[in-house]
Chains A and B, each alone.
Chain A
Amino acid sequence: MTDDWRYGGFGLYVHWPFCQAKCPYCDFNSHVSAKIDQNAWVRAYLTELERYREMLPDRVLNSIFFGGGTPSLMHPDTVAAVIEAARDIWTFANDIEISLEANPGSVEAGRFTGYRDAGVNRVSMGIQALNDHDLKRLGRIHSVAEAKAAFDIARNCFDRVSFDLIYARQNQSVKDWERELDEALSMAIDHLSLYQLTIEDGTAFGDRYERGKLRDLPTDDTAADMYIATQEVCGKHGMPGYEISNHARPGAESRHNLVYWHYGDYVGIGPGAHGRITIGERRIATETHLAPGNWLEAVNKGNGELTPLVLTPQDRANEYLMMGLRLSEGLDLERFVQIAGVPLSEIRLSYLEELGMVRRDGFLLKTTEQGRSVLNAIIKELLVD
């Protein structure tokens, strides 16, 4: 038994698919529903977890993550029941991280102690912006004042509190963002997720963008400047970027997300949740029914899962590449060979080195500062085909 399962760790992701309102930029699996039978959901989560008891015995669980949707709409008892069931199936690591995504509204703040008593030890709050006008534009239902109040309650409740901001918003200048970031860093404890606004297909923003109605977004060049400014400002405050969009004081990185980026194993339960599990020599991609109703129905019939897929060495190689290069610590080239069966192309690596996009540090392949902001281009250069 090892607590660092095949180097990447082992995590459990629980998806809660409901929100009070749908945000126009969000392409996650979220739904607005008037009435939710929490008991039915608890039963379903437990049924799903139970399937993994035999499949993945003798594992040490490094992390649980309640994501969504808005998991802070879950009843604390629901959260507690899932955590207890996981504890019954697997051994918890001594330093297990149990995170929950929370909306920074007053109602949620009232449930924080309940979550803490259930075992949650880290919350990640979707504050998104520190000005009310932009919050409204992002379709958020909270105000800055409410968010700050909820954040204060959270930090009194939990040791570890992170929050998210979205930047490169409409009409935002580099200066605007630097000011906002300064304010954010003065609030931050030890972890921040800073995302550039991405216009995704199938969202309200995507639709508006297609119709030319989403105006005054920063140009790619301005967005690139904002990204560089973000790295500099956060670095100065002792919160360097450990991943493309995530910043932490050393040691305070999100362990759950590191499982993804280290390409470890994770079980995904709840509607539309994905997992990556290793059974024997096979690495399996799991996925569940997307629509909450369908998922619930399928689980009640015994299994919420769609047909699992065995990943080819090529799939695995490309996933590890895509995930691993996001980390500042770099991608382990030896592990890459184990996963892919072949090393990365030497020609392409040297080409990227020549361009100043990557550098090798022993067995680690790291992106340079310049390379990070064009990571997709680097990955496309290196993908195995």
Chain B
Amino acid sequence: MTDLAHIRNFSIVAHIDHGKSTLADRLIQETGTVEDRDMKEQLLDSMDIERERGITIKANTVRIDYTADNGEKYVLNLIDTPGHVDFAYEVSRSMRAVEGSLLVVDSTQGVEAQTLANVYQAIEADHELVPVLNKIDLPASDCDRVAEQIEDVIGIDASGAIQVSAKTGQGIHETLEAIVEYLPAPEGTLDAPLKAMLVDSWYDAYLGVIVLVRIMDGTLKKGMRVKFMSNNTLHHVDRVGVFRPEMEMVDSLGPGEIGFLTASIKQVRDTRVGDTITNDRNGTEEALDGFKPAQPVVFCGLFPVDSAEFEDLREAIDKLALNDASFSFEMETSAALGFGFRCGFLGLLHLEVIRDRIEREYGIELITTAPSVIYHIYMKDGEMLELHNPADMPDMSKVDHLEEPRIKATIMVPDEYLGDVLKLCQERRGIQEDLTYAGTRAMVVYDLPLNEVVFDFYDRLKSVTKGYASFDYQMTGYRTDNLVKMSILVNDEPVDALSTMVHRDRAEMRGRAMCEKLKDLIPRHMFKIPIQAAIGGKVIARETLSALRKDVTAKCYGGDATRKRKLLEKQKAGKKKMRQFGKVDIPQEAFISALKMDG
């Protein structure tokens, strides 16, 4: 146990790619927490997907021992948080467990939308902030300008900002000193009943559920019995430990400390993030405030390409859900795709991550259907239905009106691209709420339908601004609009998995775009194929995919028999992976690609 005065708990706030994980790596390395030979990049990101995409998805924790210039020994607990908007809830709860943050800004880029979103969360959590200007080794680095921008946009003093190159190690020592000097020590009472915050939890195949905790008061000891206050369940603590970043067992954790416990808990769902953990008897009376659980906002269908793999998919989804309480699912049957699951996600990145993990870790190839948001359908009889899947849209004659979710989007962009960003937001039915400048960067705030954003908005934004725009959003509420269900017919057969909800005024345009896309995505067949978009019984767009005219091997002699037979057999197997609608084979990628709008 460490005395409170010698503990510092902190997180790192940064926009994606501003060097957060690299800075964390350097802090760990500089203090000798991990031996050089065990060092690898993005040390705290343990999932393959995190390393590959250079993002952090799960919050990770490391305990660092540091002897400061004043000769005193400190324990620094870092919680590394995700940078992406989809995982904002994860950021907010991690921040509640620490007292301060390093505000890392890329000195070649400046403040970005996620810097802002995360910094506001830190301010909301009463954090002390230490500004760090990173990437000073790059020629484009401009610390004065960026420090000024931090003061202008965020409104905190950046005069003492530390200049760092996480790449070369310059400024790392100064950063460690600043953590000790400027961040407050935690508060807490040792002689009090245990009061610990359940920060996060995840499943480990060997140890069961691992619970990340921050001790507020009292002591957590191995062997004691604890109570989870939200559901009054009792658990016997098997292990207590800290992360370095590998697990290291300790006997106890005291006030201000961050570590983990295991208690033979089988499911992540039995542990509620934000819960208060206390002694089973004579525990604290007062529970912590707790967090609002994250709600899925984007839904899509996941179907196995090979329908025989449905049970495998069920198992994979069950296992992933064990570790991710924000991911919801229920069985879905599609006339086109057979059995699958309708799944709910926090956002598109979350969707992609789960989909990638199922495909990669469980080896199941998936067809992903068009992402949808939750619509509120008000029936004429006064009933309100939640629509997660356009295929379930009730008969329009019984519907009074529809509401769709809206968001407040904050976009930061260099002013030369502002015009393109405004155009994109207008195209997506956005209503401008604010437009301000910080130097040559504009900050625009838009009220947008979530439906227009979940799909390819971020990709389009990046493409029209050559990657210079940053984007963040929060849900605001529901609003009535003129929405209709658009169906797609391929060779005169409706394909339920391609149905989407669209605004009536944009239906023709979207319908045309989808038909054109599908015409490119569906391979030519031996016959011509009409592709139509329709609202109810009315066709609003039509394309015709002409018949295949040439597919023949010019030379096929004795020496070609084996190779060409195998090639044809392989192509046939590939064809089987497509979905058959009537007599038409639709490639699996078509279900998503058809929706992408090229602007």
Of the candidates A220, A260, A357, A376, the one having the most CB atoms from chain B within 10 angstroms of its own CB is A376
Q: Is B385 an interface residue (CB 8 A)?
A: no
Are B549 and A322 interface neighbours, CB within 8 A? Answer: no
Interface residues of A (CB under 8 A from B): 11, 13, 15, 28, 195-198, 220-221, 223-224, 227, 244-245, 257, 259-260, 266, 268, 272-276, 285, 287, 315, 318-319, 322-323, 326, 351-352, 355, 357, 372-380, 383, 385
Besides the contacts A196-B554, A275-B558, A380-B572, what 8 more A-B pairs have beta carbons closer than 8 Å? Answer: A224-B550, A318-B569, A319-B561, A351-B583, A373-B551, A374-B550, A376-B553, A377-B551
Chain A residues positioned under 8 Å from B423 (CB to CB): none
Bound complex: CA of A102 vs CA of B571, how far in Å? 35
Contacts A377-B548, A380-B568 hold; do A276 and B553 have CB atoms under 8 A apart?
no
Which residue of chain A is the closest to B552 with respect to CB atoms? A375
Partner pick for B571 among A274, A357, A380, CB 8 A cutoff: A380
Are A377 and B526 interface neighbours, CB within 8 A? Answer: yes
Bound complex: CA of A243 vs CA of B548, how far in Å? 20
Are A357 and B549 interface neighbours, CB within 8 A? Answer: no
CB distance from A154 to the nearest CB of B (A): 21
Q: Chain B 522-542 against A: per-residue CB contact (8 Å), 1 yes, 0 no? A: 000111000000000000000
Chain A residues positioned under 8 Å from B335 (CB to CB): none
Partner pick for A383 among B553, B558, B559, B572, CB 8 A cutoff: B572
Q: Is B565 an interface residue (CB 8 A)?
A: yes
Chain A residues positioned under 8 Å from B568 (CB to CB): 318, 322, 376, 379-380, 383
Of the candidates B552, B553, B583, the one having the most CB atoms from chain A within 10 angstroms of its own CB is B552
Query: How many residues of B are counted as interface, with CB atoms below 8 angstroms from the partner's CB atoms?
Result: 26
Q: Is B562 an interface residue (CB 8 A)?
A: yes
Q: Is B555 an interface residue (CB 8 A)?
A: yes
Are B572 and A374 interface neighbours, CB within 8 A? Answer: no
CB distance from A63 to the nearest CB of B (A): 11
Chain B residues positioned under 8 Å from A227 (CB to CB): 550, 552
Which residue of chain A is the closest to B564 with respect to CB atoms? A322
Bound complex: CA of A383 vs CA of B568, how far in Å? 8
Are B559 and A274 interface neighbours, CB within 8 A? Answer: yes
Bound complex: CA of A355 vs CA of B552, how far in Å? 17
Bound complex: CA of A323 vs CA of B558, how far in Å? 9
CB distance from B359 to the nearest CB of A (A): 25
Q: Is B206 an interface residue (CB 8 A)?
A: no
Chain B residues positioned under 8 Å from A196 (CB to CB): 552, 554
CB distance from A299 to the nearest CB of B (A): 18
Bound complex: CA of A352 vs CA of B548, how far in Å? 14
| 30 pairs, CB–CB < 8 Å, chain A vs chain B | A13-B559, A15-B559, A195-B554, A196-B552, A198-B554, A198-B555, A221-B550, A223-B550, A227-B550, A244-B553, A260-B557, A260-B558, A268-B558, A272-B559, A273-B559, A274-B561, A285-B561, A285-B562, A322-B556, A323-B561, A351-B583, A374-B526, A374-B550, A374-B551, A376-B551, A376-B553, A377-B526, A380-B568, A383-B568, A385-B569
Q: Is B575 an interface residue (CB 8 A)?
A: yes
Interface residues of B (CB under 8 A from A): 525-527, 548-559, 561-562, 564-565, 568-569, 571-573, 575, 583
Chain B residues positioned under 8 Å from A245 (CB to CB): 554-555
CB distance from A339 to the nearest CB of B (A): 13
Chain A residues positioned under 8 Å from B559 (CB to CB): 13, 15, 28, 268, 272-274
Are B552 and A266 interface neighbours, CB within 8 A? Answer: no
Partner pick for A274 among B549, B562, B575, CB 8 A cutoff: B562
Bound complex: CA of A285 vs CA of B526, how far in Å? 32
Chain A residues positioned under 8 Å from B553 (CB to CB): 198, 244, 375-376
Chain A residues positioned under 8 Å from B583 (CB to CB): 351
Chain A residues positioned under 8 Å from B526 (CB to CB): 352, 355, 357, 374, 377-378
Are A315 and B565 interface neighbours, CB within 8 A? Answer: yes
Chain A residues positioned under 8 Å from B554 (CB to CB): 195-198, 244-245
Which residue of chain A is the closest to B572 with respect to CB atoms? A380
Bound complex: CA of A351 vs CA of B527, how far in Å? 12
Contacts A355-B527, A383-B568, A383-B569 hold; do A322 and B561 have CB atoms under 8 A apart?
yes
